Structure 1
């Protein structure tokens, strides 16, 4: 008789679900997923247990705590919107703390130590004590103050937002964000995204001194995007019809970089940090 006809033993279900037996035991111990028991005391999971495990796994993938999952599955009044809102707030705080720590550690690694010397590339040398002191001070507090600037949002001005959005997604490989239109169907704002943030596409606005590089014939700024493999990204941009201004080149400031022009002639740069 097939396992589905009589239920799954804990080891069978663990293999099917990609979990460990210990995880399923823990779910049982805390009352999150309690299977049937054979006369000999062995755990047996029926279809309804598998369906509940699926819902548990979905919520766990969102990072929902186990106690919150239990309420989600057992309390009729539980609302997923409230849980997601709370989880988003928690994740936002964790991301900000992680970014703060990343910046501080980068500063520690790059800055000269107290006696005016720099840390040796191999991690040794007379600067070790100074570096360790700064590391300890960095780790003391990564909290973000309520009045502290949190995130930067890049804003690029274009004559044709719809075309710019399509180009940046198709050619440069940025993730598409929302495209917002007015009642007449004209795109009035759009977004593209990288893993760590977003780029807002803004229409020309003479009132605020915002003009497209296409009309100016020049740009007053540019975006630099970090990618995992700059040579592969360069090849992809060329294959998708992009215009490259210079090929991937190892730069003296520690990156391998190439340049390209965007949909209205503005400069972009893509790079990958070189190995130390």
Structure 2
């Protein structure tokens, strides 16, 4: 069972993390060496863990109780991380597309006589592809 404490962005030493999560320092070291946990090293070679390590250890211990091997848990964690990265990349692309649309709207408001090539120059290739796809979909409905 993990104790819920307010740590903010505070970094934890391995002993502190072990105490908070009720696992041994040796277990944390093993999980770190396996790649299940990430530690930052200080200039004095101390390992520091961030708050997400508490939740990660809780997840690992829960999956172990369900009978999963550490290799299976590692694959699950890596898969989840990949999905999170994909989602972040998609959000970034959407943000860029939103910025492109805002540029188009701004151009349209500036000029009464807007030339399509002026708009096209201000858009990314992804935005142009998206607009073309939307036009195709709208024409097919």
Give the TM-score, by structure 1 length.
Answer: 0.26
Question: Which structure: larger Rg?
Answer: 1
Give the TM-score, by structure 2 length.
Answer: 0.48
Identify, as 1 or 2, the structure richer in strand. 1
Identify, as 1 or 2, the structure richer in helix. 2
